[in-house]
Structures are given as structure tokens and as C-alpha cells.
Copies of this chain bind each other. A is one copy, B any other.
């Protein structure tokens, strides 16, 4: 019998990779990078340790790819908001805040990871680079909005907005049960726009 076609193999490979990335994302997010072992990831991704190393050269490389993967989702959420047509700048901001808060609620693990990595992993240079890169691309996205809103210093405004979201993320991480996520959302929107929930 002939071996699988190249395309089939590529598909399989991509699927496997994503499978591993998802498992790693979840574990890194909930337990932290250092505390998560390759064995655990392999078990969660339902493959063997050895095979995992066919897809990622090292734990550190895996982490890097997880970072890219994780931020990609965040960026894409923002992107889709930005691409919605017929929205005033104000409505855009509301929509963006909505999407971030939704993500915090629904993809807690992802947010935890993104945040914990930003902090925890600065010690690993390659990861630090990756994070800085993707974080900056997020900020640029935000900047566009503040430009449209006519703010005086849109770059700094974008950074402040980013800081708020990150900070809330941290607080939410510390106590996701009791945290008044919705109230905070209203509060922020009120600061930026005249918003009645």
C-alpha cells in the first residue's frame, strides 16, 4: 500500500500541532510554564513525549509558539472588531472593550497565560522577544482607534488602555469568582464615552 499523500500528512501535522499547542496553552495558563512538564502536555494532548518532540524542538520553542498562538487569537478578536463597517469611533471602542471582556470571561486560560507569560517569562530571552513583538502589534491596533477618536496622544492613550485591560486581567486572575467584571467594564466605558449600560 502506498504511503499517505503529502497533503494528508500536512493536514495531520497541522492538526497535531494545534492539539499540542492547545494543551500547552491550557496548562501553561493554569499552572505556569515552569511548573508544567512536557509529560503533562503530552498526556493532555494524547500523544507520547517522543512524538511531541517531532513537532517542537524544545520546551522553549513550544512556549514561543504558544505565545504567538495565544496572542493571535487576541489580535484576531480585535481585528474583527476593527473591520466591522459603519461604526463610529465611539462604537468601535465599546465594541473592542466588549470583545476584550468577553475574552476574559470565556477564555480565562488564554488571558492568564498571556499575562503570566508577559511577566513570568521575561527571563527567557527568546520568549521575551516574541512577547514584545506581539504585544506591540496589539498596541498598534489600539492606536488606530484613538487616532480615529481624535485623541491628542493616541500612542500613549493606547498604552493606557492596554494597561487598564492588563491590570483588570490580573485582578480577575486573582479572584475570578468574586470579581465585578461587568461593573468594571461599565466604569471604563463611562470614562471613555458617555455610556449607559
Query: Given the complex of chains A and B, what is the CA–CA distance between A134 and B193 in angstroms?
Result: 33
Taken residue by residue from 102 to 132, chain A's Cβ proximity to chain B (1 for < 8 Å, 0 otherwise) reads as 0000000000100110111111000010011
The count of residues in chain A whose C-beta lies closer than 8 Å to any C-beta of chain B is 41
Q: Which of A128, A156, A167, A174 has the most CB of B within 10 A?
A: A167
Tell me whether chain A's interface is mostly helix, strand or loop, or mixed. Answer: helix
- Knowing A167-B166, A167-B167 touch, does A173 contact B122 (C-beta < 8 A)? yes
Interface residues of A (CB under 8 A from B): 30-32, 34-35, 112, 115-116, 118-123, 128, 131-132, 135, 153, 156-157, 159-160, 162-168, 170-171, 173-175, 180, 183-184, 187-188, 191
